[in-house]
Amino acid sequence: MSLRIYNTLTKGKEDFQPINPDHVTIYVCGPTVYNYAHVGNARPVVVFDLLVRLLRHDYKKVTYARNITDIDDKIIEAAQDSGEAISNITRKYADIYSADMAALNAGPPDLTPKATDYIDQMITMTAALIEKGHAYEQDGHVLFSVPSIENYGELSGRKQEDMIAGARVDVASYKKDAADFILWKPSTNDQPGWDSPWGRGRPGWHLECSCMIEDNFGKTIDIHGGGLDLIFPHHENEIAQSRCAHEGAPLANYWMHNGYLTVEGEKMSKSLGNFVTVHDLLEEFPGKGEDIRLCLLTAHYRQPVDFSRDGIHQATKQLNHWYRLTDGVDSEGVEIPESFLNALRNDLDTPKALSVLNVLAKKAEKDNTAKRQLKAAANFFGVLEQRGRFDLNIKTTTARLKLKAHKARVTTLGTVVEKDSVNPISYTKSYDSESVEKLIEERAEAKKNKDFKRADEIRSQLLENDIFLLDGADGTTKWEQR
């Protein structure tokens, strides 16, 4: 089976036909480095890391680029607030981002272009757009003229008036049309800037990706990826400026976008107190980067995914089982089952691929060949790669089994605490249904009151008793004890 991709541009699933079968090119929008990346930022990283693994399996050569935006108004604001130099801020958070994504078993891109290294190329493209009649200078700004191009909005599929309202476009005095977007803007003395034909200034956000792609790959690449939130205006504007600069040549033949992420059924927001960074999660769950990765891949990449700490615990339980099954197994040279690869070739169907892994795990209980296939396929998926983890899991599991045996001897309500040589593990007498329901109600009330600390305490208390809460958009939909 050949790779099939849902193309956002054409609104349908298509057979992937690379420009050059001997060299596939893919570009994914990367971070703006002024703070820690939140868990939603990690979803495209693991999604496209898996896609690149698949492309490298099926094609002779793949070049994968993911940019870094190191000049942006948010970065300037962060520098002003902290008193740090912009270069220190961008270097610090770019390094942290790379380390955090590596902890999720995401391989580094082949190319990591930085915006500030492409200022000359951005000035050149801006000048070309002015010359071709697709951009104009006004009050020190250079703007792309949206009415100068046909089919603007074909990626997002929205009408122009809807796009303007949805993007909160600033109807500034220097704009000829409300939809026009900035290619170059002036910098004050306390802002970073570069000399240009239009005065000292800096580029608009959309321009950098078009120039990086042209400089590294040429006018057209095979695949351009990113989050759903980038379709408009970012990717829509990339298409417009690149097409106009290159006599109508497409920027990319296939556009792929991953869906949104919620946290326990709610939109992630600092005001709701549920804003979660990858860096904090890795500190909260040390050594569990691949568990977080598995959580992010459980839903199909184009669908929303609800992220929770319960989900991490469930992923850990699943991975621990696979680690026990594959302990000491050598998977080198083992062919990955076609059923697994074909699931991924079908528009990266990770739920189907996971079901194949679970079937292999069931067979692996008695079949050594299945054990080797399970390890090879799981490694391809980006998990079962942590050396030494199995020994820790065995000790922890042994301790839990001791506690379960002790459970039968507990006859009164209370807490029994036992420690093993690895981690302290607490156990509370198993709850009846009424007790669980009361705690769920208390947790819902705590979340309603934005007391997320108490909500997490209740969830952790239940997890210690193997009680898993299944949360949805309307709260906890059901629970089960395992």
Q: Do residues 262 and 306 touch, judged by C-beta distance below 8 A?
A: yes
Q: How far apart are CA 71 and CA 75, in angstroms?
A: 7
Q: What is the pLDDT of residue 444?
A: 85
Q: CA gyration radius for the chain?
A: 25
Q: How far apart are CA 127 and CA 123, in angstroms?
A: 6
Q: What is the mean pLDDT of residues 427-449?
A: 75
Domain ranges in the chain are: 4-258, 262-386, 406-481
Three-state SS for 334? coil
Q: What is the pLDDT of residue 80?
A: 94
Residue type at 17?
A: Q
Q: Among residues 168, 198, 193, which one has the least CA distance to residue 181?
A: 168
pLDDT of 424 above 50 = no
pLDDT in tens, 302-342: 999 999 999 999 999 999 999 999 999 999 999 999 999 99
pLDDT greater at residue 391 or residue 106: 106
- The answer, yes or no, to whether the previous bond of 18 is cis (omega within 30 of 0) is no
pLDDT of 412 above 50 = no
pLDDT greater at residue 128 or residue 416: 128
Q: What is the pLDDT of residue 431?
A: 61
Share of residues in the chain with pLDDT > 90 (%): 73
pLDDT in tens, 210-266: 999 999 999 999 999 999 999 999 999 999 999 999 999 999 999 999 999 998 888
Q: CATH number of 262-386: 2.60.120.560, 1.20.120.640, 1.20.1280.50, 3.40.1080.10?
A: 1.20.120.640
pLDDT of 129 above 80 = yes
Q: How confident is the model at residue 396 (pLDDT cuts 50, 70, 90)?
A: very low
Q: What is the pLDDT of residue 423?
A: 36
Neighbours of 173 (CB within 10 A): 6
Q: What is the pLDDT of residue 183?
A: 98
Q: What is the mean pLDDT of residues 428-452?
A: 77
Q: What angle do CA 170, 245, 110 make, to 5 degrees?
A: 95
pLDDT of 40 above 90 = yes
pLDDT in tens, 83-111: 999 999 999 999 999 999 999 999 999 99
Task: Please provide the average confidence, as pLDDT, over all residues in the chain.
Answer: 88
Q: What is the pLDDT of residue 449?
A: 83
**For residues 309, 315, 318 and 321, what is the CA-based torsion angle, rounded to 10 degrees?**
-80
Q: Tell me the Ramachandran region of residue 251: left when phi exceeds 0, alpha when psi lies from -120 to 50, beta otherwise.
A: alpha
Q: What is the pLDDT of residue 415?
A: 40
Q: What is the mean pLDDT of residues 385-391?
A: 64
Q: What is the pLDDT of residue 429?
A: 40
Has domain 4-258 been given CATH number 3.40.50.10160?
A: no
pLDDT of 162 above 70 = no
pLDDT in tens, 180-217: 999 999 999 999 999 999 999 999 999 999 999 999 99
